[in-house]
Homo-oligomer: A and B are copies of this chain.
Amino acid sequence: MGGSLALAAQARAAVDQVVGYDADPAVLEEALRLGVITEKAANPAEAAAYADLAVVAAPVRSIPGLVEECAVAVPPPRLISDMGSTKSAIIAALSPTAKSLFIGGHPICGAATSGVRYAREDLFAGATYFLCTTGAAFPKLYEMLQRFLLDIGAKPSHIDAMAHDRIMAVVSHLPHVVANVLMEHAGGFQVGGRKALHCVGPSFKDLTRVAGANPPMWRDIFLENREALADSLATMIAELEDFRSLLQTAGQAEIEASIHTAAIFREELLELEDIVPRTLYRVTVHIPDQPGVLSKVMTTLGEHEINVEDLTLHHVSRSVGGDLILYVAGEETAETAASLLHALGYPSAVSLMGDVFE
């Protein structure tokens, strides 16, 4: 992400000098060769000296140390920021000097990238970019950073560090823990010699897509935000316990109401994406695992002006192929899509979005 920020700064914020440092000399060399940075530095302080803005893009646990190294540069940078996904622990760890120069940052980018060669200057376009102030930096610095972020196309948004961490615990860190624990539970489960993992369907795969993501990095994120995450876990556990009690007392109305509440929030989420949930239909088409098939499907739909709102592919195996699930608006559109696909030789089924049977 640091590379993308460097490219964005050059392409969109008229920055003509980006001095880079990386612990790995090969990465630094590549960044220079690709034009991601304009100059190399021998250490963080050298990179930060004289800078208008020094940005630390590193694993969360190493951020405070690197910010301190930047803060003691001679002369120091005017402003230091970071890109870490937790904020309170980082700010709490800083010295008064570093705090006076620091504004925490956290871009919420849909696209995850790793490696300087995949840096792209538009990574932050339209992305919410959270900013957390330390309370010790000049307000003018905040304005500087805000203007820079607007220049690169991001949407800067001020948030209290504690609020940031609590929200991230709920929408990002907790989901990762849940995916991991669900995968561990199912992975180890077998009855009568039959492994649960061999019986999973698309729902399970959706829920565990992020399971096992980068262990050392996520270990650090979990630990850096451990208070908020532990609170969030406690709430989740209590809610699961409540549901378990409902099962035991067979509380029909309460169970249905609980699913209904989830349905309402899911609709709210879809509406945030400009999708009208009640008009959404799912077209499931079974396709072989061959190059060109997806192209044929998409071209046919495109030719008939059918807009695909969302899609997922559930790969089954090389020989059997998989199910491509397309979400389209309106029953008529869904039926047209299904007959077009049928005509291509790919049988398809239409169902209402909320009808998930496995």
For A167, the chain B residues whose CB sits under 8 A away are: 189, 191, 194, 196, 199
User: Please, how many angstroms separate the alpha-carbon atoms of A295 and B300 in the complex?
Assistant: 8
* Residues of A in contact, count (CB < 8 Å): 157
Number of identical protomers:
2
Nearest chain-B residue to A314 (Cβ)? Answer: B110
A249-293 vs B, CB cutoff 8 Å, 1 = contact: the mask equals 010100110111111111111001111000000101010011111
A207 and B191 within 8 A (CB)? no
A85-B358, A197-B265 known; A212 and B338 CB under 8 Å? no
A108 and B358 within 8 A (CB)? yes
Of the listed stretches A42-50, A69-77, A91-99, A239-247, name the one at the interface; the rest are far from the partner chain: A239-247
A298-319 vs B, CB cutoff 8 Å, 1 = contact: the mask equals 1111110111111111111111
A310 and B313 within 8 A (CB)? yes
For A211, the chain B residues whose CB sits under 8 A away are: 262-263, 265-266
A216 contacts the other chain (CB 8 A): yes
B184 and A239 within 8 A (CB)? yes
Q: Which of B192, B219, B250, B299 contacts A259 (CB 8 A)?
A: B219
A192-B163, A219-B255, A274-B318 known; A266 and B208 CB under 8 Å? yes
A248 and B230 within 8 A (CB)? yes
A19 contacts the other chain (CB 8 A): no
Give the shortest distance, in Å, between A31 (CB) and chain B (any CB).
Answer: 16
Nearest chain-B residue to A324 (Cβ)? Answer: B311
Give the shortest distance, in Å, between A231 (CB) and chain B (any CB).
Answer: 10
Nearest chain-B residue to A263 (Cβ)? Answer: B212
User: Please, how many angstroms separate the alpha-carbon atoms of A302 and B239 in the complex?
Assistant: 46
For A250, the chain B residues whose CB sits under 8 A away are: 223, 226
Of the listed stretches A32-40, A121-129, A131-139, A144-152, name the one at the interface; the rest are far from the partner chain: A121-129
17 residue pairs of the A-B complex, CB under 8 angstroms, read A110-B316, A111-B286, A159-B194, A172-B201, A172-B204, A180-B243, A180-B262, A182-B236, A183-B266, A213-B354, A234-B244, A237-B241, A274-B317, A291-B301, A294-B311, A295-B299, A311-B313
